[in-house]
Structure 1
Amino acid sequence: MSLVRAELRKLLGLPTAWVGLVLGTLTAPVVVLLNAPYTRRAIAAGTLTDTSDLGLRDLGIGLIGPMVLGVIVVSSEYTSTGQDAPGARQLTATLAAVPDRLRLLVAKTTALVLVVAAQAVVTATATLTLTQVLHGEHAPAPAPARVAAALLYWTLTALLAYALALITRNGVVPLTLLIINSSVVSVSYLLTKVTDLAAYLPDIAGTQMFLRSGDFPVEIAPVTAGLVMTTWVVALLAVGAVLFRRRDT
């Protein structure tokens, strides 16, 4: 537990981590607020008839938060400590204090999950409450199981980013790919137009844990979708852990 506390302090001491916390927490509620006039008009005009995903769908916009946190918890270890010693990195000092690399990864993973889960709870509460206040009876409260699945999706997304950063030992590449795929152009979604197997990619399958409407080529049951995404994350984490243990600093 002392090692987990140390990793928590280290993570929360990073300025970039706070960027991820602020962006991830505020983006979804702000988008709900800005989109409220359009959503009301769409409901009144009858062009938006299925409102079961209102609020929950907007949570996906805040995924940049857990992505940043998942990447920075690893990439910060590989960043140069300063111009005076460009070859020195935080990881050297970390491993000197904790030589057991597997134990270090367990502590880092636990710290990341705790921070992202707390962020997800705050963001989901704010987003769903604001959605109900703005749209009243048109935005029924989602079932607790769907909210829990959305929180799990946030946590798994952070772990996915974390695993990719472990594998690449780089923060820029995985973060760029994840942000582009989730906000600019979804390569995963485009692949679903080519093959139905793309529906089992982690981000596509994961959304079916809690969303009920969407252009999915293959309908996956929520529990199955959760198992698919979890399998992806566990597999990538295993690869990242093996590489982390075998590589030099």
Structure 2
Amino acid sequence: MVTAELRKLLGLPTAWVGLVLGLIAAPLLVFVNAPALRRMADSGQLPDPADVGYENLGIGLLGALILGVVVVSSEYTSTGDDSPGAHQMTSTLLAMPGRKRLLAAKGSALALVVGVQGAVTAVTTIVLTRSLMPFAPSFDPVRVAAAVLYWILLALLAYAITFIFRNGIVTLTLFIVNSSVVSVSYLLTKLTPLAAYLPDIVGAHMFLRSHPADETIPPVTAGVVMTLWVGALLAVAAFLFRRRPA
């Protein structure tokens, strides 16, 4: 069942957009940022190099988010103008009527693809950063593994939210606006330190050492909190998926 969902995911053109974007964005950003960072380091103006390289991994998360969305949204896309109410999920459930198993299989396929994507991207980015900028932190397998886990958890978060709304546009808009236009989560941290435990903020504490929010969360604690968020939203998605019509 996981193999079938893996083939289905990799057969989606939009999924390849997310896959390629996640693989190339962070390494390309290393080349873009390297000259300015080297000048800052030479002039003694680089404040803290602890996250140099690792912070570039954030841009690749968009690829993981796209994968988390399209694995679900593709099932709810209309199959044609002749039957605007029909979609792929109807056929999928006829072939695999066990909804819990289907949810688990799709999530497992997504986690596998994003895990490989994240591992390749993270290793490439950190090694490349270190070769271009000797002042960057050395390769740390634990931090790299934490970054890859964050990619997987965020993809599963997008997966769960897309299942809840059954609309990929809503999920992508929510994440993109919150991360690039105005971070509602970050603004909330100015009102209460508890906002630092929202999923889009707490997850970064798993592998980054400096943060715009005042709250500092240990990496293990951040990972546990992020996992709880994902687990809770997956539970909601499973509850709604079992009770809604196809």
**For 1:26, which of 24, 27, 36 is the aligned residue?**
24
The residue number in structure 2 matching 1:44 is 42
Structure 2 counterpart of 1:32, which letter? V
Q: What amino acid maps onto 1:179 in structure 2? A: I
Q: 2: CA distance between counterparts of 1:207 and 1:39?
A: 21
Task: Name the aligned partner's letter for residue 151 of structure 2.
Answer: W
Identity of aligned residues (%): 64
Alignment correspondent of 1:209: 206
CA apart distance, 1:185: 2.3
Q: Distance in 2 between matches of 1:18 and 1:182?
A: 22
Comparing 152-161 and 49-58, the one that deviates more: 49-58
**Which of the numbers 168, 174, 177 marks the counterpart of 2:174?**
177
Per-residue deviation, residues 3-22 of structure 1 (Å, max 9, x unmatched): 11110010001010000011
Instruction: Measure, in 1, the Cα distance between the counterparts of 2:178 and 2:115.
Output: 22
Find out whether 1:192 has 2:189 as its counterpart: yes
Q: In 2, distance between residues paired with 1:142 and 1:184?
A: 32
Per-residue deviation, 1:34: 0.7
For 1:134, the equivalent position in structure 2 comes to: 132
1-side partners of 2:2 and 2:201: how far apart? 31
Query: Which residue of 218, 237, 244 corresponds with 2:241?
Result: 244
The alpha-carbon deviation at position 49 of structure 1 amounts to 3.3
1:19-67 C-alpha deviation (Å, 9 max, x unpaired) = 0011111111111111111111111122213111111110001110110
Pairwise CA distance, 1:110: 0.5
Alpha carbons 2:203, 2:223 under 8 Å: kept: yes
Which whole-Å CA distance do the structure 2 matches of 1:172 and 1:12 have between them?
A: 20
Question: What are the ranges of 5 or more consecutive residues in structure 1 without an aligned counterpart?
Answer: none
Amino acid at match of 1:233: V
CA contact (8 A) 1:61 1:183 kept: no
Greater shift after overlay, 214-223 or 144-153?
214-223
Q: Secondary structure at the match of 1:208?
A: helix
Question: Offset of 1:180 from its aligned partner?
Answer: 1.7
Q: TM-score, normalised by structure 2?
A: 0.97
Shift of the alpha carbon at 1:184? 2.7
CA positional deviation for 1:85: 2.0
The runs of 5 or more residues in structure 2 that have no matched partner are: none
- How do 1:1-249 residues align onto structure 2 when only pairs under 5 Å count? 3-136=1-134, 138-249=135-246
Q: How many angstroms does 1:215 deviate by?
A: 2.4
Q: Quote the Cα distance in structure 1 between the aligned partners of 2:209 and 2:130.
A: 18
Alignment root-mean-square deviation, CA? 1.0
Structure 2 distance, partners of 1:186, 1:130, is 29
Q: Which amino acid aligns with 2:73?
A: S
Q: Is the 8 A contact 1:7 1:107 kept in 2?
A: yes
Contact 1:208 1:221 in 2 (8 A): yes
SS at match of 2:133: helix
1:115-136 deviations in Å (ceiling 9; x for gaps): 0000001111111111011102
